[in-house]
Amino acid sequence: MPDRSHRFVVLDAMRGLAALVVVIYHGTSHVFPMGYAAVDLFFVLSGFVLAHRHGEELNSGGHRLDFLLKRVIRLYPLYAVGAFLGLVSAGLLVGRIDAWTWRLYGTAAALAPVFLPVLSNVALGVFPLDGPAWSLFFEAVGNIVFAFTGARPRLTAAIAFLSLPLVLLAIKHWQGGGGSTLEEFPGGFARVLFSFFAGVVAWRLWHAGRRLPWNLPWGILFLIMIAIYAACPHKTALFDALLVVVVQPLLIWAGASSRPGRLEPVMTWLGAISYALYVIHVPLHLLLLDLLGDRDGLSYYLGVPVSGGHSPLPFPAVLITLPLAVAAAHVLTFGFDIPVRRWLTRRFAA
């Protein structure tokens, strides 16, 4: 049995770095044009870590409902905070973008507590109150499938293999494979099934003692991440496919054996705040853009014209959003999420 208490500190930091990349990408695509691909890294990471912590237990008949309850406790509190922020930021946009009406806003508000998408073509996506929640929805899908498969070697490898052509097809048709809008929604299933179970397969290899022939220090891994997300490939779909199918699973496999050294406390902190940072940054960014009257910034993020506001800011608003989001993520993680999850675990999942 694996040591479930083992912490993959470098993987935690890689998750934090990926979250920072996504925040910057949503503010300006000039720094990390491929930043959207970091979502697939989250799925690989999730599969790897959950296989380490719960795979063998589920293989031996562990309680699936207990596992799923633990996942709800992990994901829901901060998701609820993001949705609450979205009630404000998305509410301010009602009537200012095409198809975003009070009726649809009410539908989104009713579906958000039960974690269901809004099947509408509105520019805010299938989770209008908190855009990144689309990936949390598919994370939940991956978790449900994993609850029944565990980390069985042949079965998990078969899922990754069989979903490979589906994710390649999704990447061919939609940027990054889709998932966030109604048109691209089916692509999310392919993305999570391949990347999540690629992470499970990577863990099985790591757990069996099969390491990559080179042991990359964490600094090299971080530089590779920055380089791939900052790339401007001519054939984006081909580069997407290489990232999703080859590069990011290899990064996680390599990162599992990397050592943090003296920066372990910083890496641990970065991993700790990464989920809060990811889940709150979009509603926070939209709210900030609206308060500053940056109509062009809103139009850039949403991809459609937005009425109201005035001329753009003389600098990207993400320069304000990023430090605010990091500070808010720190407060929410240590002042809200960890205490709430501890209480919920004691109350319902002890």
pLDDT value of position 304: 87
- The closest alpha carbon to 260, from 271, 276, 248, belongs to 271
Decide: residue 303, CB within 10 A, 0-12 exposed, 13-18 middle, 19+ buried. Answer: exposed
pLDDT in tens, the chain (350 residues): 565 567 899 999 999 999 999 999 998 878 999 999 999 999 999 999 999 999 988 887 778 999 999 999 999 999 999 999 999 999 999 999 988 999 999 999 999 999 999 999 898 999 999 999 999 999 999 999 999 998 899 999 999 999 999 999 999 998 778 899 999 999 999 999 999 999 999 999 999 988 887 788 999 999 999 999 999 877 788 999 999 999 999 999 999 999 988 999 999 999 999 999 999 999 999 999 988 888 888 888 888 888 876 666 777 888 999 999 999 999 999 999 999 999 999 998 76
- Record the pTM: 0.95
Contacts from 22-26 at CB under 8 Å and sequence distance 24+? 22/132, 22/278, 22/281, 23/277, 23/278, 23/281, 23/285, 23/318, 23/321, 23/322, 23/325, 24/318, 24/322, 25/229, 26/281, 26/282, 26/285, 26/301, 26/318
pLDDT value of position 307: 83
Token digits for 78? 């901060």
Count CB-CB contacts under 10 A for residue 7.
Answer: 14
Nearby residues of 150 by Cβ (< 8 Å), 6 or more positions away: 54, 55, 56, 57, 58, 59, 62, 156
pLDDT value of position 2: 61
Cα-only R_g, the chain: 20
Nearby residues of 223 by Cβ (< 8 Å), 6 or more positions away: none
